[in-house]
Structure 1
Amino acid sequence: MDPLTRTRRDALLTATLTSAVAAVLGLGWLLLPGRGGFYADPSNAWLASLAGTTTATVVHTVAALLGVAVGLAGLARALPRPVVAVAGVLELLCFGLLLQSMGTLAVTGYLVAMAMPAVLVVLLLQVVRRYPVARWVVGVPALAALVVGAVLAREALGTLTVTLTSALAAQGSRLLVVLLLLLTGAGWAATLAATAAGTPRAARATAWVVRHRRAITVAAACGPLPYALLRLTWLLPSDLLSPALVPEGLDLTTRVWGLLLSSGAWLGVVLTLGLIRPWGEVFPRWVPRLAGQRVPVAAAAAPGGLVAAVLCFTAVPMLVAVPEGNLTEAAYLALVFPCWFWGPTLALAVWGYVGHRRADVGSGATGGSGGDGAGRSASTPVTAG
């Protein structure tokens, strides 16, 4: 049997564990139908809207049980690589397509938006701590603006906090299942990629992606821009733009929420560009305790790959959800939420990042090139920008 590399083992272990949890849930939904299940709401999965609750639940359970069996056998090296690859394709088809919905993107986007206030405050505090010039030009003024804004919009912020907290409490179980399906699909996607790695065909494909990774990454960074710009229009007076862009009667709470959603999208733009910037390979000096150390490949590849999975998994359910013949709405969704473009390009950008970093290790690149120099540990300090 083929040797089980660390990457393959970790990916397969993740896929097996998430499949096991999914199997337990699926069996519970089948054996206790009176309690209902996740797929009782057809909008929770594309397959449920096509074939009904029972079919979706059965497919979920069978796929999860198969995933556990294949995962355990694969971890024991009892299955050849081609069998694991075929099983990975089937699992990805189920958990990455048939059992997905637009809810995957909505849940992820909302969680990121809710975290943005804390992210912004931490970043500004680090600017104040680490950059003497930017401290007074950017850091202090921005923090002061945040404080003033929070005071002026305290009622709207309070209302938004209560609304979001109530929504999380009411939809908590649904959110957890959505995240489980996402992690299961992403785990099998990672397993499939790790299984294919090391073959001549994969090496040729990786070389092509690495050569074009800058253009691919810039294209991926453009993916969030339409949504980021659209949500910023909520800050404008309603009479300046079309109601299609700025709905009439937006209150301050909704406008603040739009700003948070937009900021999350802008964060995606910046982090995507980090895949081709020096600070994507070496921690910059404002990062506490890690400044000057090399960024572990997984620290960028894992979240980037997970977001790419969210986008790819959402692409088909989003497009097929448009009523037949409504070309205007289809074009609107394809432009504002370009998952069909953003997801694949982000996946390729992450692929190129991983290939580039591993090529640097193999060639013994030095710290000056921004790679993982051979013989140098991930914790070795290097010059950071």
Structure 2
Amino acid sequence: MERLARATLLGATIASGAVALLGLAWMLGLWPNPYAEPVTALLAGLAGTEVATTVHVVTALAGVAAGIAGLAGALGARGRVCAGVLQLLVFGVLLQGIGPLSTIGYLVALLMPVAVVVMLVQVVRRYRVARWTVGVPGLVALVVGIILGRDAIAGITTGLVAGFAGQGATILVTLLVLTLGLLWAMVGAQALSGMSAMDRATAWVVRHRRAITIVAATGPLPYALFRLTWLTPWPQLGFAEMDMSTRIWGLALSSGAWLGFFLTLGLIRPWGEVFPRWMPGLAGRRVPITAAAVPGGLIAVTLIFSAIPMLLLGRGHSIGDQILGAIAFPCWYWGPALALAVWGYVAHRLQSERAAALDAADTSLDRLPAV
């Protein structure tokens, strides 16, 4: 456990160093400064580009200093918690906009066609009944859809490739900051582990993790359902009319949200602990805790970082529109609930593994010959 804590702290230190170097590059004009756009971050809109960039660099350097001190053994648990809180408050609130949510959402949507094809092929290979009720019909529908919508799909692909090429640097910066947030959150959590208050909190989360996870799973549903309405022939909010490319992209975005719904439920389902039969090369194996905790934690950090910017996005609109926005993008409860769900999953898995190890040890002792 100590080795994991040191590795996490080392990763957080490196991430802080990379983020600090980025800020210095922006200060020196070596790279376009994203804070030049006021909507990029709350502090940039309130105090301007220079203040936001300075706070960015100073906070990242403070993270480097705290990380080095922690690795040298000169920073106690309280200091690591304070360092983590500082990083999360600055990079998760003051220097945050809606960019992370858009970036992660678009990346997931881009990968969904591949995921759907793999899943359907595996269903055909592994399940006799579902092969003809789900797998084959799904593949046929997919092929027919690609043939009928080939021009629209080609347009989407061209636009996405151009968009990601033009925003590649911004996407990398976004992912780096999210990784920094996740690592410092882990540093703080690891520093608190073992304390009586943390143990009581963990016990409460594990006891209620099923209800918490179900609440977290509802988070992507409003968005998933809203994007599905793009497939209907009726006019949509904000669109006089939509071409086929927009409708297909809406379906991809919706499928990404549905994936989030099912993966969140996996935190309390058996297939969240053992890979299901349709997973190629992994069927029947135990799911590594990190395989669920790291992506789940990253999405939770993304949602928490985006909560305030998404709520502020409705400023200037009517109360009804603001409420509608808060329902369609419920980051304000979805992020914290998902973080708690991941916390409960990790604690449950660790408890299960410890119990299994004790049972195995007892069984070994029972097999020893009596003296």
**Are 1:200 and 2:196 an aligned pair?**
yes
1:254 corresponds in structure 2 to 246
How is 1:29-178 mapped onto 2 (pairs within 5 angstroms)?
29-32=26-29, 36-178=32-174
Q: 2:267 is paired with a residue of what secondary structure?
A: helix
State whether structure 2 residue 355 is matched by structure 1 residue 358.
no
Partner of 2:215: 219
Residue of structure 2 in register with 1:383 after alignment: none
Tell me the amino acid that sits aligned with residue 250 of structure 2: G
Cα separation, 2, equivalents of 1:374 and 1:102: 49
1:22 deviates by 0.6
Residues in 2 aligned to 1:104 and 1:204: alpha-carbon distance in whole angstroms: 33
Q: Kindly provide the CA deviation profile for residues 42-83 of structure 1, in whole angstroms up to 9, marking residues without a partner as x.
A: 121111111110011001101111111111221222211111
TM-superposed deviation, 1:324: 4.4
Quote how far apart the aligned CAs of 1:224 are. Answer: 0.5
**In the alignment, which residue of structure 2 is the partner of 1:10?**
7
1:11 Cα offset (Å):
2.1
Q: Following TM superposition, by how much is the alpha carbon of 1:253 offset from its aligned partner in structure 2, in angstroms?
A: 0.2
| Cα contact 1:12–1:187 (8 A) shared by 2 | yes
d(CA) in 1 for partners of 2:241, 2:316: 30
| One-letter amino acid of the structure 1 residue matched with residue 2 of structure 2 | T
| Matching of residue 27 in structure 1 with residue 24 in structure 2 | yes
Where structure 2 has 5 or more consecutive residues not aligned to the other structure, the ranges are 362-371
Map 1:278-293 to 2 at 5 A. Answer: 278-293=270-285
For residue 320 of structure 1, what is the aligned residue in structure 2?
A: 312
Is residue 230 of structure 1 aligned with residue 222 of structure 2? no
Query: Could you tell me which amino acid in structure 1 is paired with residue 21 of structure 2?
Result: V
Report deviation, 1:23: 0.9
Tell me the distance in 2 between the aligned counterparts of 1:45 and 1:283.
40
Cross-structure match for 2:367: none
Deviation track 1:337-376 (CA, whole Å, cap 9, x = no partner) reads 000011111111111111111111232389xxxxxx766x
Q: Which amino acid aligns with 2:11?
A: T
CA distance in 1, matches of 2:20, 2:28: 12
CA apart distance, 1:93? 0.8
Cα separation, 1, equivalents of 2:217 and 2:3: 30
Moved more, 272-281 or 315-324: 315-324
| Aligned CA distance change for structure 1 residues 340 and 153 (closer, same or farther; 3 Å) | same
Decide whether the 8 Å contact of 1:362 with 1:374 is kept in 2. Answer: no
Determine the C-alpha separation between the residues in 1 that align with 2:51 and 2:360.
Answer: 52
Question: Structure 1 CA distance, aligned partners of 2:281 and 2:310?
Answer: 42
Cα deviations by residue, 1:224-262 (Å, 9 ceiling, x for unpaired): 0000000000000025xxx42x73210000000000000
Distance in 2 between residues matched to 1:76 and 1:307, nearest whole Å: 31
Measure the CA separation in 2 of the matches of 1:282 and 1:77.
38
Equivalent in the alignment of 1:380 = none
8 Å Cα contact 1:12-1:75 kept in structure 2: yes
Structure 1 pair 103/374, CA: closer, same or farther in 2 (3 Å)?
Answer: farther
State the identity as a percent: 56
CA contact 1:315–1:339 (8 Å) conserved in 2: yes
SS of equivalent residue, structure 1 residue 276: coil
Say if 1:374 and 1:249 are closer, same or farther in 2 by CA, change over 3 A.
farther
- Where does structure 1 differ by over 4 angstroms across 4 or more consecutive aligned residues? none
Mind listing any 5+ residue stretches in structure 1 that lack a counterpart? 367-372, 376-385
Q: d(CA) in 2 for partners of 1:151 and 1:43?
A: 40
CA–CA distance in structure 2, aligned partners of residues 127 and 84 of structure 1: 47
The Cα shift of 1:326 comes to: 3.0
